[in-house]
Amino acid sequence: MTLSHAPPTGRLDRFLNSVLSRLVHHDVLDQIPVKSIMKTLVLDGLPVTDRDLWGILRQTPALTKISLVGCPNVTFHLFPICQSLQSTLSLEQVDLYLTFVQHASMMTVHNKFQKVVAFTPSGLVPLSHEITRAMITQYTVDSWSNRIRFLDKDQLVEDHPTMCPEELGAWPFSSLPVFESHTLSFSGSAYLTPLASSPAAYTFKSFAHASRFVYELYHPSCLATKLRSMTMSVTKSILPRPKPIDPLDVQAQQVLASLHAWKVSLQDQVDELTVAVDRAKHEHHVALADYNHAERQRQEVEKAANRAVLALSLGQPSDAIAALGATLEMNQFAVLDAFLGHAMAFALFETLDNLHTYGGPYSFERGVLAGGKTGRNLRYQKPSVRGDDVLWLDGTEPECPPIVSQTLRQLDRLIIERLATDELTA
């Protein structure tokens, strides 16, 4: 739940209690007060007091995270309040950034699950672990309340360039604020007993977080004076100082450079091969077109030669043969009614009938399907499946009847005329 916007009128504590008491979560089974199931509460910028926080923590047993960024009235009393509510407290994280206690000593406070409650400012990060406590003391030029130290950032970066993070070199002022926090634990009484541990050092996560602290938060007059002095001290160099060259980085750069050169070489070869393939495809297409043109010319010459030979051997075609050839070429079929004419067809019929009836120099033979046999399987036992009688003549036999030779010549003439089409010449 986010309650970062303060009410326009009225007391803040009444507003918070009213919101927490009246809001109800509706589910399938029952109505549950929001304050009993709420896990996160954001109160950024509200002027809540320690007493207000005590009342909120008492009413929210499931609360695990509370954000108090920029709350001006939060004090050190927040820590013993959390300790007194340990038996019912589920709290795990408290964000104290931009409060007066963001740089306060860190207390060891436990919740009811015996987990340590983390009081952390979200805008601060731990200083580099390579910067020791002795170095912090050595480069301290000013301090406030033993909690904020102002370090000579320029001298620190110049003396120890490898220990300082790159973000430190980008800090625009020559003085760098460092927040120290001690780990303290509660004794049985209301007094605080510090543990024997070294303080932890923190600095700003970014310059944007620092700007909110320096320019937007109210500070005591002494601290405000020191912050103004810090903003007046411009750093010598904003950019981070160069680090020593790592041999592994040099080797990696060499490997990457060789890989890049190899990649460029391969790409050039691919481009050359692509151009060669395109050129070869074009040349092949041109050659294929020339070949097809020559082949068509050859076929036309061959057809003309065939027709010339046919004309010499058979004479000029009749009008009927020419018409049938044209019809076949156009429609791919032709009707042969009256192809031979009545006189020629009747003479052919009488000749074949005499050969079949009386025989002669050439006799008909029984076909392969005649006599009731179909091959090796004798499944058909009828006297005749098909009465096929076959006589093979090609018109060149010595005693071939003239009418048969003439008919075959007519058929040859028709077929050869059809050779003019691409289907039979292919």
Q: 102 and 56, same structural domain?
A: yes
Do 146 and 89 sit in the same domain of this protein?
Answer: no
With bands split at pLDDT 50, 70 and 90, how would you rate the model's confidence at 367? low
Query: What residue type is assigned to position 345 of the chain?
Result: A
Q: Is residue 217 part of a domain?
A: yes
Separation CA 205–CA 294 (nearest Å): 83
Least confident of 105-114, 145-154, 191-200, 217-226: 191-200
What's the total number of domains in the chain? 4
Distance in angstroms (rounded) separating the CA atoms of residues 146 and 158: 26
Q: How far is CA 7 from the centre of its chain?
A: 48
User: How many C-beta atoms lie closer than 10 Å to residue 193's C-beta?
Assistant: 10
Digit-coded pLDDT (tens) for 6-37: 565 667 777 777 777 777 665 555 677 777 88
What is the pLDDT averaged over residues 164-185? 71
Burial category of 125 from C-beta neighbours within 10 Å (exposed 0-12, middle 13-18, buried 19 and up): middle
Please report the sign of the dihedral spanned by the C-alpha atoms of residue 413, residue 419, residue 424, residue 426: positive
pLDDT at position 259, please? 92
Among 122, 137, 170, residue at a domain's last position? 122
Residue 235 reports pLDDT greater than 70: yes
Q: Is 41 helix (H, G, I), strand (E, B) or coil?
A: strand
- Separation between Cα atoms, residue 252 and residue 53, nearest integer Å: 55
Cα 386 to Cα 382: distance, rounded to the nearest angstrom: 10
| 3-class SS of residue 364 | coil
Cα distance between residue 389 and residue 364, in whole Å = 6
pTM: predicted TM-score of the whole model, two decimal places: 0.43
* Residue 50 forms part of a structural domain: yes
Is residue 7 a part of any domain in this protein?
no
- Is-contact 47 23, C-beta < 8 A? no
CA angle 380, 384, 387 (to 5 degrees): 135
d(CA 209, CA 187): 35
pLDDT band at 369 (very low <50, low <70, confident <90, very high): low
8 Å CB contact between 134 and 156: no
Q: Is 378 or 220 the better-scoring residue by pLDDT?
A: 220
**Same domain for 310 and 340?**
no
> What gap in Å lies between CA 201 and CA 149, rounded to an integer?
9
pLDDT given at position 206:
78
Q: Residues 202, 260: one domain? A: no
Q: Is the pLDDT of residue 168 over 70?
A: no
Do 252 and 298 belong to one domain?
yes
Q: At what angle do helices 402-418 and 319-331 cross, to 10 degrees?
A: 40
Whole-number pLDDT of residue 388: 66
- pLDDT, tens digit, for every residue of 184-224? 444 444 444 444 445 678 788 777 778 877 877 667 788 88
Same domain, 44 and 143: no
Across 155-164, 167-176, 276-285, 412-421, which has the greatest mean pLDDT? 276-285
Q: Which of 4-8, 224-228, 297-301, 372-376 has the lowest mean pLDDT?
A: 372-376
User: 109 with 162, same domain?
Assistant: no
In the prediction, which pLDDT does 268 show?
Answer: 92
Residue 12 near residue 47 (C-beta atoms within 8 A): yes
> Distance between CA atoms of 299 and 243, rounded to whole angstroms?
83
Distances (CA, A) of 274 to 267, 269, 278, 281: 10, 8, 6, 10
At which of 255, 283, 315 does a domain end?
315
The 3-state secondary structure of 290-343 reads HHHHHHHHHHHHHHHHHHHHHHHHHCCCCHHHHHHHHHHHHHCCCCCCCCCCHH
Q: Is residue 348 part of a domain?
A: yes
Q: What is the dihedral of CA 93, 99, 104, 108, to 10 degrees?
A: -20
Q: Is the pLDDT of residue 352 over 50?
A: yes
Share of residues in the chain with pLDDT > 70 (%): 73
Give the residue with greater pLDDT, 314 vs 364: 364
Whether 115 and 136 share a structural domain:
no
Q: Quote the DSSP letter at residue 372.
A: G
Q: Are residues 90 and 133 in the same domain?
A: no
Direct distance between the N- and C-terminal alpha carbons of the chain, in angstroms, rounded to an integer: 87
> 390: helix, coil or strand?
strand
Is 322 a member of any domain?
no
Q: Are residues 303 and 258 in the same domain?
A: yes
Question: Is the model's pLDDT at 238 over the cut of 60?
Answer: no
- The answer to whether residue 423 scores a pLDDT higher than 50 is no
Statement: residue 140 has pLDDT above 70: yes
Mean pLDDT of the chain: 76
**Which two three-digit tokens encode residue 216?**
């937007």
How are beta strands 124-126 and 200-204 bridged, if at all? antiparallel
* pLDDT over threshold 80, residue 63: yes
Q: For residues 277 and 239, give the distance between their C-alpha atoms in angstroms, rounded to a whole number.
A: 53
Do 16 and 76 belong together in one domain?
yes
H/E segment holding residue 410: helix 402-418
Do both 104 and 24 map to the same domain? yes
- Stated length of the chain: 426
The parent domain of residue 391 ranges over: 332-367+384-423
Task: Examine residue 379 and state whether it is found in any structural domain, yes or no.
Answer: no
- Write out pLDDT tens, residues 275-318: 999 999 999 999 999 999 999 999 888 877 776 666 665 555 56
Q: Mean pLDDT lowest for which of 143-152, 190-199, 287-296, 379-388?
A: 190-199
What is the reported pLDDT for 215? 79
Report if residue 321 sits inside a domain.
Answer: no
Report the distance separating Cα 65 and Cα 53, nearest Å.
13
Residue 30 confidence (pLDDT): 66
339 has a pLDDT exceeding 60: yes
Asked if the structure places residue 78 within a domain, the reply is: yes
